[in-house]
Chains A and B, each alone.
Chain A
Amino acid sequence: EPEVTQTPSHQVTQMGQEVILRCVPISNHLYFYWYRQILGQKVEFLVSFYNNEISEKSEIFDDQFSVERPDGSNFTLKIRSTKLEDSAMYFCASRAPGTGGAYGYTFGSGTRLTVV
């Protein structure tokens, strides 16, 4: 069964450093997403990406965050200057083309980001 692959599974970084979280969505999917889950809290929407541009973003997704699909297969989330409160599990998801939001997502296993 096709999978969404995320790397690394765990990353530790110092406050103020830049991090790039990587995702390889399912090959025929066209919609891509980043969500985050702070330990013990809800899954929060960060950003959606379609047709090589951001289609929607939350208020969490400020100027410190950016996304890119550099080569047609990878989908990356960059945090320019990490803060302690960025520590969370970050999930990438993709979905197949279809009717609006009717299709569920396929999620990756997540990257646990720890900012120290």
Chain B
Amino acid sequence: AQSVTQLGSHVSVSEGALVLLRCNYSSSVPPYLFWYVQYPNQGLQLLLKYTSAATLVKGINGFEAEFKKSETSFHLTKPSAHMSDAAEYFCAVSESGGFKTIFGAGTRLFVKA
């Protein structure tokens, strides 16, 4: 069975600083991995996805994530935080041929001026 663990329910960074949101997954087969973002009172928006092509995946809004099989990780990064990045971020995993995607508990990102 697949699962996702997000380390840190809250992360706070200063504007312009590096953003690092951590995600580790568990899957019995090669996974598909996703990061979603949720702004207040809105739905979930797909940021980026890993589907067994390049291990470094670039997404929208300057975010990227690297798939590391040896570490079972898929951490999300952005070189320079912007105030508009403040939101909740969810890492998610699904399995090839599977019908569902499992979400992590989410990490709320705060950006300080």
Contact = CB atoms under 8 A, between A and B. Distances in A.
A56 B99 contact: yes
Interface string B88-107: 00100011111111111110
A101 B96 contact: yes
B61 to A, nearest CB: 15
A38 to B, nearest CB: 12
A74 B96 CA distance: 27
Interface in B28-65: 32, 34, 36, 42-46, 49, 51-52
A101 B51 CA distance: 9
Interface size band for A: 20 to 34
Contacts, number: 72
Contacts of A103: 49
A110 B36 CA distance: 15
A101 B90 contact: no
Interface of B: 32, 34, 36, 42-46, 49, 51-52, 90, 94-106
Interface of A: 4, 31, 33, 35, 41-45, 48, 50, 55-56, 58, 91, 93, 99-110
Given A105-B46, A105-B101, 6 more contacts: A43-B44, A43-B106, A100-B95, A104-B46, A105-B44, A107-B36
